Amino acid sequence: MPSDQSTWLITVPLNGDSEGLLQELTTKLSHQSRSFSPNSIAELGIPSFKAGTLDSLIALSEDLPKQDTFFTNTVAKVVDTLRNLLNNDPYKLAQHILVNESSIENYLLGQWRWNEGRYGVQKGLGDMVDTLNKEMSSIDNAMKSKLQNYNLVKGSLVQMQRKKTGNLSVKSLADVVSPEDFVLDSEYLETVLVAVPKSVPLFLYLAGQKLRVLRNLTKDWNLKYEHLSSMVVPRSSKSIASDDEYTLFGVVIFRRVHDEFIQQCRENKFINRDFVYSDTDINKQRQELDMADVTERELWTELLHLSRTNFSESFQILVHLKVIRLFVESVLRYGLPANYLGIVIQPDPKSSKKIFNVLQAHLSYLGSSSRRKGQSKAGDSEEFVGEYQTLMEQEFFDFVIFEVPWVTQ
């Protein structure tokens, strides 16, 4: 049974009135399921394609499932891109999952017709499939390229923004410090910035029991910093900023003891922040962040527009390929002349099984018809049986059916 999360495309060979058959099915489906709406079934215009040779139809029948998978995956990737750009907001996503600025339902159920202006039916089926494949490949490549560019800029922006967040041991200090916190333009002295944890856990053993206590490293810093190395300027420690986890101190030392002082900081769990104050560098960082933010928003807008456009294009290409599959399988199943009624049904998931059972019961006469045709053709040539026996032994429903997945699910 086809999926209840898809729209069903069906073909039936016509021996009479197409409107009469469609009306019969609509009436039966409405009677069997209260949730089924007459607006959920419509005619699907199947063009009079050039059938070509039996060999070419067999080759297409074997190749089209691969194209179908590629097309379906491409449409799904466009939808995923839209979903990610819109932060998985279903309401916003529905505003962009449109085909020719209309809903998918309206596109499929609104008297769908083959786009002859774009895909002239005078061409062979193989040529039309090649055209569809080239168009879908172009869409896929364009999406990959634009998405890669966007992700690079987005990744760079996220890294820059992370530097503005976090605690004082990791965040950028450009917006934390000021020139007054530093000894500037000194040949011998420099200001070192140190992030000191407010407390760290220590484990003590008392009477055979393991106890966890918190040690105040801020107090340790005030007691120790002057003695971490020689040539530390006494009483030069200054608290610059503080958060829930760390206090940022500036301390003045002689340049010649820089490495020794930093090593002693590490051994005492004080975190050195390697920062040299420079108005030029700080302004440059701010400009780079602003530029990355502007570029990211521009690329986001471009990618959103491209994804919206390419969803409409790729979905139409997918449906046109499905229609070719319907035609090819119908000719192989029912033979010529190629006079088929196409039907599109959007089932309600709760009643999809009932709907499918009604279709099987109403169209069961097609099963014996297609089997007779297959047996008749196979009997014409033992060579035919040997070459295409696998195809003839495939399990079919009594009617030809393909599915268009609900891309937003």
Range(s) for CATH 3.30.70.100 in the chain? Answer: 179-276
What are 82's two structure tokens?
A: 């839209």
Alpha-carbon gap, residue 67 to 178, rounded angstroms:
62
What are 128's two structure tokens?
A: 């039309």
pLDDT, one tens digit per residue, over 219-252 is 999 999 999 999 999 999 999 999 989 999 999 9
Q: Count other C-beta atoms under 10 Å from residue 317's C-beta.
A: 24
143 φ/ψ angles, rounded to the nearest 5 degrees? -65, -45
Q: Could you tell me the CA-to-CA distances from 220 to 197, 214, 215, 236 in Å, in that order?
A: 10, 12, 9, 16
- Contact 320/83 with Cβ under 8 angstroms? no
Could you please report the per-residue DSSP string of 225-249? GGGSSSSBPTT--EEEEE-SSEEEE
Report pLDDT for 185.
Answer: 87
179-276 folds as Alpha-Beta Plaits (3.30.70)
Alpha-carbon gap, residue 404 to 409, rounded angstroms:
12
Residues ≥6 apart with Cβ < 8 Å to 8? 2, 344, 345, 346, 347, 401, 402, 403, 404
pLDDT, one tens digit per residue, over 128-174 is 999 999 999 999 999 999 999 999 999 999 888 887 888 999 888 98
Alpha-carbon gap, residue 94 to 102, rounded angstroms:
11
Residue 141's identity, in one-letter code, is N
Q: Is 169 left (phi over 0), alpha (psi -120 to 50) or beta?
A: alpha
Q: How confident is the model at residue 271 (pLDDT cuts 50, 70, 90)?
A: very high
Range(s) for CATH 1.20.1460.10 in the chain? Answer: 6-156+295-405
Q: Does domain 6-156+295-405 have CATH number 3.40.50.300?
A: no
Q: How confident is the model at residue 409 (pLDDT cuts 50, 70, 90)?
A: low
Alpha-carbon gap, residue 78 to 297, rounded angstroms:
19
Q: Is the pLDDT of residue 5 over 90?
A: no
Could you please report the per-residue DSSP string of 268-303? TT-EEE-----HHHHHHHHHHHHHHHHHHHHHHHHH
Q: pTM above 0.85?
A: no
Q: What is the Cα gyration radius of the chain? A: 35
